[in-house]
Amino acid sequence: MTGSTKYIFVTGGVTSSLGKGIISASLAKLLQARGFTVTIQKLDPYINVDPGTLNPYEHGECFVTEDGAETDLDLGHYERFLDVPTSQANNVTTGRIYQNVINKERRGEYLGKTVQVIPHITDEIKRHIQALGRKGIYDFVITEVGGTVGDIESLPYVESIRQLKWEKGKDCLTIHLTLLPFLQTSGELKTKPTQHSVKEMLSLGVQPDVLVCRTEHPMQKGMKEKIALFCNVDATAVIESRDAQTIYDVPMMMQEEGLDRVVLQKLGITGYPEADLSAWTDFLHRYKEPKREVHIGLVGKYVELHDAYKSIKEALEHAGAENETKVHIKWVHSEKLNAKNVAKHLAGLTGIVVAPGFGHRGIEGKIEAIKYAREQKVPFLGICLGMQCAVIEFGRNVLGLTDANSTEMNADTAHPVIAMMEEQKNVENKGGTMRLGAYPCKLTEGSTAYAVYGRKDISERHRHRYEFNNSYLEDYRKAGMEATGINPKGKLVEIVEVKGHPWFVGVQFHPEYRSTVMKPHPLFVGFVQAAVKAAVPVGEKAEA
């Protein structure tokens, strides 16, 4: 596209959890499928500098980018929809904004001025919004503002949008998401909360250009016109967003409603072809009309909150679609598993994933699940802590090191088979100090990992402080657990596999962050394939 970068803001009103992230990602997808370059950014109004130190119960999973930023889980959606890596610049919190401003103040950069929310905090927010645009590679920067308009915390963000709209004029556009509640007793959808929410925006000086109305039921005739009249928008700019069967349907639904068309029209961009979503539709077809099904257990300690394992869940679904298989996930609470009940809890599953995590809660249950998977020859994928638990389990039950443990769980263990990485030993601050982001890894030919990736050199994202203790490497190898992926520089073990098992892979990295709709991750694809194979009734297996 010739000309300047366009800035699209996505705000939310009435309630939280309306799915701003999915609407942003869907619009981005539609623009991308028309041939534009797009990136999406999330501004989070909380004081934490990043979500890295947040308990997953608070905000769900922490998504790690290639450059090692610990970010909001919405960035996972952006990457899964767009297939374009995000970075630290794609997620900014109020905490980071204030930290930058305070650091500048300490350096004397404000030259004796009183530092204030307006203009200093808003300038910093505007700088972050435009930093992506200044790269000169994006036609569109979509900025999603977390929280709900009207919150005290959101005020500086809405004010920054107001200023940018004033400064940039036609290069900016605001999309406001609202809710149309359905009143059971009168059998109607109600527009009043939307009207109030737009009034709230207006009182802050921002007129939304497009309204996306979330609704459980179809909008009634004349409703778009009514909203348009009360909210100063065109009726074509009132977009109905019905509850979708899956998040991956939303781009199509938004295309049907003309969201991308109205956005382009309002920004004065003409002459671009309609979005070609054929590859996306192919995926949806495989996803929704599977030929078979498989039951996979996901063992973790946050299973009550599926968002805590968002990327793993999505990666399993992508891999399922790739295998034309419906993946049913059984969420297994690791704290509830013990030697006595493990077989009962995991019965009938033909694949077991043991999730990442921190601290010792639920660790023994994870180890029991791994013992079961190893002994019963159930395909197994251990991720980060899941891989570390596989090493502990093997140490205890195969090598006979009864005290084998990670020093994270027991600093005084006689057999620290997982130990803190050297460079972590002097680290004091908790935030942003782990081994984070993408690192290269070399695979051993002939391994399961090599078979699924189909190449020797890979790069995957990390988030950990502890690591396989290389002084045990030889003992493990002799007993049948091999390191099949190694970081070429630091010699850190990145992958372990158990020989003689149909599919047993533990990875120190997080493959789930790199799985996208268009490029399902090879490890998940291979794992689901193995689970499908394991699910074939014994009789059929013998014939094959």
- Give the pair of three-digit tokens for residue 72: 């909001």
Q: Which of 197, 256, 385 is nearest to 309 (CA)?
A: 385
Contacts of 102 (CB under 8 A, 6+ apart): none
Tell the smallest beta-carbon distance from residue 358 to ligand GLN (Å).
4
Task: Tell me how far apart the alpha carbons of residues 434 and 439 are, in angstroms, rounded to a whole number.
Answer: 13
Tell the smallest beta-carbon distance from residue 542 to ligand GLN (Å).
39
CA-to-CA dists, residue 510 to 43, 104, 439, 459, angstroms? 24, 35, 11, 11
Q: Give the count of residues interacting with ligand GLN (CB under 6 A).
A: 11
Q: Which of 172, 231, 384, 389 is catalytic?
A: 384
Tell the smallest beta-carbon distance from residue 515 to ligand GLN (Å).
16
| Cα-based angle 158, 164, 170 (whole degrees, multiple of 5) | 120
| Cα-based angle 52, 55, 58 (whole degrees, multiple of 5) | 110
Task: Tell me how far apart the alpha carbons of residues 28 and 140 are, in angstroms, rounded to a whole number.
Answer: 8
Q: Is 231 an active-site residue? A: no
Radius of gyration, alpha carbons of the chain: 25
User: Pick from 286, 442, 465, 533: which binds ligand GLN (CB under 6 A)?
Assistant: 465
Please tell me whether residue 338 adopts helix, strand or coil conformation: coil
E strand or H helix at 292, and its extent? strand 292-300
**Contact region for ligand GLN (CB under 6 A) — 169-177, 336-344, 463-471, 472-480?**
463-471
Q: Which amino acid, one-letter code, is at 268?
A: G
Q: What is the DSSP string of 439-475?
A: EEEEEPTTSHHHHHH-SSEEEEEEEESEEE-GGGHHH
Choose between 312 and 384: whose C-beta lies nearer to ligand GLN: 384
Q: Are 283 and 517 in contact (CB under 8 A)?
A: yes
DSSP state of 356: -
Tell the smallest beta-carbon distance from residue 511 to ligand GLN (Å).
12
Q: Are 35 and 272 in contact (CB under 8 A)?
A: yes
A 10 A CB-CB count for 425 gives 9
- Give the pair of three-digit tokens for residue 424: 């972590």
384: contact with ligand GLN by CB under 6 A: yes
Choose between 188 and 335: whose C-beta lies nearer to ligand GLN: 335
| 38-97 residues near ligand GLN, rule: CB under 6 A | none
**Contact region for ligand GLN (CB under 6 A) — 103-111, 157-165, 380-388, 518-526?**
380-388
Q: Are 403 and 376 in contact (CB under 8 A)?
A: no
Choose between 433 and 471: whose C-beta lies nearer to ligand GLN: 433
- Residues of 257-288 as b/e, b for ≥16 C-beta within 10 angstroms? bebbbbbbebbebeeeeebebeebeebbebbe
Task: Tell me how far apart the alpha carbons of residues 400 and 220 are, in angstroms, rounded to a whole number.
Answer: 69
User: Pick from 463, 501, 514, 521: which binds ligand GLN (CB under 6 A)?
Assistant: 463
State the binding string over 466-485 for ligand GLN (x if CB under 6 A, else -): x-------------------
* CA dihedral angle for residue 46, residue 50, residue 54, residue 60, rounded to 10 degrees: 90
Q: Which of 345, 501, 510, 521 is catalytic?
A: 510
396: contact with ligand GLN by CB under 6 A: no
Choose between 80 and 301: whose C-beta lies nearer to ligand GLN: 301
Q: Is 188 an active-site residue? A: no
Tell the smallest beta-carbon distance from residue 383 to ligand GLN (Å).
7
Tell the smallest beta-carbon distance from residue 490 to ligand GLN (Å).
14
Contacts of 148 (CB under 8 A, 6+ apart): 12, 13, 14, 15, 16, 154
User: Pick from 70, 322, 408, 482: which binds ligand GLN (CB under 6 A)?
Assistant: 408
Choose between 128 and 463: whose C-beta lies nearer to ligand GLN: 463
**Contact region for ligand GLN (CB under 6 A) — 41-49, 105-113, 461-469, 512-520?**
461-469
Tokens 């366009």 appear where? 6
State the binding string over 134-163 for ligand GLN (x if CB under 6 A, else -): ------------------------------
Tell the smallest beta-carbon distance from residue 356 to ligand GLN (Å).
3
User: Pick from 239, 385, 390, 438: which binds ligand GLN (CB under 6 A)?
Assistant: 385
Choose between 311 and 350: whose C-beta lies nearer to ligand GLN: 311
176: contact with ligand GLN by CB under 6 A: no
Tell the smallest beta-carbon distance from residue 493 to ligand GLN (Å).
12
Q: Is 393 an active-site residue? A: no
State the binding string over 333-372 for ligand GLN (x if CB under 6 A, else -): -----------------------xxx--------------
Q: Which of 172, 462, 512, 521 is catalytic?
A: 512
Footprint of ligand GLN (CB under 6 A): 356-358, 384-385, 388, 408, 463-466
Catalytically active residues, by annotation: 384, 510, 512
